[in-house]
Amino acid sequence: MTTTKPLVIVTRKLPDAIETRMMELFDVRLNLDDTPMSRSDLGAAMQEADVLVPTVTDRIDSKLIAEAGDRLKLIASFGTGVDNIDLAAANKRSIIVTNTPGVLTEDTADMTMALILATPRRLAEGERLIRSGEWSGWTPTFMLGHRIWGKRLGIIGMGRIGQAVARRARGFGLSVHYHNRRRVHEEIEAELEATYWESLDQMLARMDIVSVNCPHTPATYHLLSKRRLELLKNDAYIVNTSRGEVIDETALTQLLTTGAIAGAGLDVYENEPAISPKLLALDNVVLQPHMGSATIEGRIAMGEKVLINIKTFIDGHNPPDRIIETMF
């Protein structure tokens, strides 16, 4: 590339410290009012930019990539998941894609544990009651939930986040079980005192709480299908801080409505930001607005990874967080 500063187009508002450093390093076009880009705006940006910095809400499909300008050589995504980007199409155009792995593990695990606590103990329901002004006082049988101490937690996806959830869960007296594409190393199993289930179906049928911590890929779309959700015990709870598409949300809503599943704690949704009115109407669901990774520290760490990926690429080296071809 030339010595001229590359044009970097950022699709959403980022932390001030990150935007300031970007301005120092590159020729940057920021999104100061944080208005989501339309598809046409995104296409126009991809026509002009040397580097595009999208977020997980920007859908960059094969058509957009095929129509991108010749200058676009790097998509430095501000986020860990890249299911919103057609990686095969980017690879075909020799466009490098990077993400920001590893920096959101503890934040997402904290949110997962918060939902594991909040859902069986009906915390959101109790908070709504207090705010309504209709609470009439304590009674022995009022707002009874379930303790989590001594219960079995089934983790779907024992990567960095799944392992961080397991460490927290042990502190709350939960017995850790997991299903993963590949069994983790025996030393990790021993540290977490985790029981491996090769069969997801068999694990689901035996758990008191299920936590979804796997990424969204073609293989995990509706991994928790209606058939699999029906395997859960009627006093079981499900928590999802991964991606909404992993669960058949329509089937989940039906089972929660009939009491076939006791409750759910959700931070992600299949068609977000749209949420089914039927889901919103349920008292046995704790709903959060996709804020599992929303900490100041986490967002700055993400931005710093984006900066490093861009600077490394501009300097003619392989970015450290490049999505390798074998992941397509």
pTM for the full model?
0.89
- pLDDT tens for the 328 residues of the chain, in order: 445 899 999 999 999 999 999 999 999 999 999 999 999 999 999 999 999 999 999 999 999 999 999 999 999 999 998 999 999 999 999 999 999 999 999 999 999 999 999 999 999 999 999 999 999 999 999 999 999 999 999 999 999 999 999 999 999 999 999 999 999 999 999 999 999 999 999 999 999 999 999 999 999 999 999 999 999 999 999 999 999 999 999 999 999 999 999 999 999 999 999 999 999 999 999 999 999 999 999 999 999 999 999 999 999 999 999 998 543 2
User: Per-residue pLDDT tens for 132-171?
Assistant: 999 999 999 999 999 999 999 999 999 999 999 999 999 9
Do the domains 7-103+295-327 and 105-287 sit in the same CATH topology, yes or no? yes
Provide the annotated active-site residues: 243, 272, 290
User: The domain 105-287 is classified under which CATH number: 3.40.50.720, 3.30.1300.10, 3.40.190.10, 3.40.50.300?
Assistant: 3.40.50.720
Average pLDDT, the chain: 95
315-to-69, 98, 174, 305 alpha-carbon distances in Å: 21, 15, 48, 15
**Rounded Cα distance, 285 and 275, in Å:** 13
Indicate the fold that domain 7-103+295-327 takes in CATH.
Rossmann fold (3.40.50)
Q: Which residues contact 86 (CB under 8 A, 6 or more apart)?
A: 60, 61, 62, 65
Write down the domain spans for the chain. Answer: 7-103+295-327, 105-287
Of 98, 93, 9, 12, residue with least CA distance to 46: 9
Element (H, E) at 226: helix 226-229
Q: Are 148 and 116 in contact (CB under 8 A)?
A: yes
